[in-house]
Amino acid sequence: MTTAHTFAAKQLTSGYDERIILDNISLSIPSNQMSIIIGANGCGKSTLLKTMARLIKPSGGEVVLDGKSIHTIPSKQLARTVGLLPQSPVVPEGITVADLVGRGRYPHQSLLKGWTKKDYEAVAEALDLMNISAFADRHIDELSGGQRQRVWIAMALAQQTDILFLDEPTTYLDITYQIEILDLLTDLNKKHGTTIIMVLHDINLSARYADYLFALKDGQLVAEGTPATILTSALIDDVFQLKCQVIDDPVSQTPLIIPIGRHHTNK
Amino acid sequence: MTRLRATMPSHVPKHLWKVTVLFVILLIVSVMASLAFGARTIGWDGLMDGLFSPDVQSHEAIVVRQRIVRTIFSFMCGAALGVSGALMQSVTRNPIADPSILGVNTGAALFVVCGIAFFNISTANEYIWLAIAGAMITAIFVFTIGSLGASGATPLKLVLAGAATSAILSSLVTAIMIPRTNVMDEFRFWQVGSVGAGNWDLIQLFIPFLLVGIAIALLTAPALNALALGDDVATGLGVNTGMIRLFAAFAGVLLCGVATALAGPIGFIGLLATHVVRLVIGPDIRYILPLSAFVGGIILTCSDVAGRLLGSPGELEVGILTAFIGAPILILITMKAKIRAL
């Protein structure tokens, strides 16, 4: 079971080059829960995730882990607490599943020790959690998109961090695989207490799977809270400029967004 | 534990031991061939006399002893170029990166030409520092140009910067050389890589650079493995990507610069050795680096032997040979292995 952490953004300003995308955002990630960042394209949700996961250096403010700015923590040490699965990782030619997942052990290894029993166990467990032990020796190129994504998540799991960032982990996947990935991440969160923060495009899946939502618009945090408390048609209109009805998801009893377009409406 | 190991065999590449044994055998064969063949072919007895009976002073034994130096020198050059190629491919995450693509060879050449043209420099001791300085400055220049902008030194930007720089530098080399016939004569000799000039002094000069370069390479290997998954993943795994690139590139440039200074520009070894190794052992850089040294040495030594046999009674410089052997094999590898971005 993982330990609890405080992880927060303080007056964070960030962007690419001179362009400011995130403007003075402060938020605190709930420990041991699954948080999802939602918002329209270009609202800064991916930038927020990347800045908190130290891929982008903020131009103002700081990201604070257990009271310390993450930029003052040695990178390997930080990588034992905070893990990250970016949107488009590179698959080296000819790499096997086990080799790729094993590379997630990097922050736990030193030059002198080499592979320890702990490393083998962590990799075996990660493969097991993602149900991919059977393909440990297969080449990544032979796998389907959904299987590949499970391999990448297993790589991040082998890192054994208490906090895990995922940037749109279900993009380009069929609905079946999207549900499978989200279920596996929920298992991880329930079994290990891993704090998960991710960006998702699908509001309804976000509403179903998130313990906590952050809604972003134009680089500002406009709402945060549990899906049931914050997801209203007013919020969706504000964040996405979309008229909708919110009903109860008959399966999960979470809010379900029914968009209202210009056509196919009864009224 | 054994069960866990059984499920995790890929942390040691499948055929590692078989491959290592094969390479050792090839090494022995290439060394023997290098000692035996040349303008004069030496038989088994002469070979054994030259190697193991220091008091036998037959002509054959003396020829063998002379060839020992050349063989060691060519193996060292090949090893340096092999590791350098592997490092540069890792750093740029580009499967066809090698010293010449990053402009590093040309930078070394420009400095040597300047040395010959303006400072009357003509010995290896002086070449080596000029070539290293040239290689380093070029690498830093290319790296700086390639990392302009927010996304940092991406593989594509590095290769583009290298190609552009290389074009400028080689036109400078030509501009300096053409009006000066004496420079042309001296440089032309150096410009075609050859290991025939190898001697104990050069080897002694070479050793510290080779050891430092390979040591840095091996130290950066685990981080380079993480870097192979993309900069974002590597950063998430706690790799300081800028620092690792700098160290690995430094080692790659050092190895290539020294080999270039001592033997002249020898192409394709870095590219060839690394691809052969990658094909048989897979993508783990911890194994690719040392095996590329092996294979680079073997390929260069064999090419040198072939050059001596083909050019007999004189010899064909190994630089010409490696280009002839390397280019078609590289095309073959490229077609077969459907090489894409690393």
In a domain, B42, yes or no: no
pLDDT at residue A183 tops 80: yes
Tell me what percent of the residues of chain A surpass a pLDDT of 90.
79
Q: Mean of the pLDDT values across residues B178-197?
A: 72
pLDDT at residue B117 tops 80: yes
What is the number of domains present in chain A? 1
Q: How far is CA B318 from CA A76, B194, B195, B306, in A?
A: 45, 5, 7, 8
Residue A93 and residue B337: Cβ atoms within 8 Å? yes
Q: Mean of the pLDDT values across residues A8-13?
A: 93
Q: Residue A159 belongs to a domain with what CATH number?
A: 3.40.50.300
pLDDT at residue B315 tops 70: yes
The residue with greater pLDDT, A1 or A195, is: A195
Query: In what order do the strands lie in the sheet containing A34-39?
Result: A82-85, A163-167, A195-199, A34-39, A212-217, A220-225
**Would an 8 Å CB–CB cutoff place A53 in contact with chain B?**
yes
Residue B229 and residue A133: Cβ atoms within 8 Å? no
Residue B103: band (very low, low, confident or very high) from pLDDT cuts 50, 70, 90: confident
Q: Mean of the pLDDT values across residues B163-187?
A: 82
How far is residue B305's CA from residue B76's CA, in Å, rounded to a whole number? 15
* pLDDT in the model for residue A15: 85
In a domain, B166, yes or no: yes
In a domain, A88, yes or no: yes
Q: Amino acid identity, residue B238?
A: G
pLDDT at residue A232 tops 90: yes
Q: Mean of the pLDDT values across residues A52-71?
A: 93
What is the number of domains present in chain B? 1
Helix axes A117-129, A175-192, angle to 10 degrees: 130
**Would an 8 Å CB–CB cutoff place B156 in contact with chain A?**
no
Residues of B in contact with A114 (CB under 8 A): none
In a domain, B59, yes or no: no
Residue B9: band (very low, low, confident or very high) from pLDDT cuts 50, 70, 90: very low
Place of tokens 């066809």: B96
How far is residue A172's CA from residue A145's CA, in Å, rounded to a whole number? 8
**Would an 8 Å CB–CB cutoff place A15 in contact with chain B?**
no
**Contact between residue B297 and residue B278 where contact means Cβ atoms under 8 Å apart:** no
* pLDDT in the model for residue B2: 39
- Please name the residue of chain B whose CA is at the shortest distance from the CA of residue A122: B4
In a domain, A264, yes or no: no
* pLDDT in the model for residue B14: 73
Read off the pLDDT of residues B258-293 as tens digits, 9 standing for 90 and up: 888 888 778 788 888 998 898 888 899 999 999 999
In a domain, B259, yes or no: yes
Closest in A79, A93, A127 to B283, CB measured = A93
In a domain, B62, yes or no: no
In a domain, B236, yes or no: yes
pLDDT at residue B42 tops 60: yes
> b/e per residue, A142-179, with b = 16+ CB within 10 A?
ebeebbbbbbbbbbbbbbbbbbbbbbbbbeebeeebbe
How does DSSP classify residue B40? S
Q: Residue B195 belongs to a domain with what CATH number?
A: 1.10.3470.10
SS3 helix, strand, coil % of chain B, rounded to 5? 75, 0, 25
pLDDT at residue B69 tops 80: yes
pLDDT at residue B155 tops 70: no
Tell me what percent of the residues of chain B surpass a pLDDT of 70.
88
In a domain, A265, yes or no: no
| Cβ neighbours for A251, distance < 8 A, ≥ 6 positions apart | A208
Question: Where in the sequence is the domain holding A224, given as residue range(s)?
Answer: 7-259
How far is residue A165's CA from residue A156's CA, in Å, rounded to a whole number? 9
Q: Mean of the pLDDT values across residues A195-200?
A: 96
How does DSSP classify residue A3? P
* Residue spans of alpha helices (H) in B264-284: 269-281
**Contact between residue A193 and residue A1 where contact means Cβ atoms under 8 Å apart:** yes
In a domain, B33, yes or no: no
Answer whether the bond into residue A255 is a cis peptide, omega within 30°.
no
Q: Mean of the pLDDT values across residues B67-82?
A: 93
How far is residue B30's CA from residue B293's CA, in Å, rounded to a whole number? 14
* pLDDT in the model for residue B6: 43
The complex scores an ipTM of: 0.92
Q: Pairing mode, if any, of strands A220-225 and A212-217?
A: antiparallel
Question: Where in the sequence is the domain holding B328, given as residue range(s)?
Answer: 2-26+67-308+317-341
Structure tokens that stand for A14 in this block: 């960030």
Q: Amino acid identity, residue A241?
A: Q
What's the whole-model pTM score?
0.88
Residue B3: band (very low, low, confident or very high) from pLDDT cuts 50, 70, 90: very low
Closest in A50, A75, A120 to B4, CB measured = A120
* pLDDT in the model for residue B336: 58
Q: What is the nearest CA distance from A35 to chain B, expressed in angstroms?
A: 19
pLDDT at residue B1 tops 80: no
Q: Mean of the pLDDT values across residues B183-200?
A: 72
Q: Mean of the pLDDT values across residues A150-161?
A: 95
pLDDT at residue A180 tops 80: yes
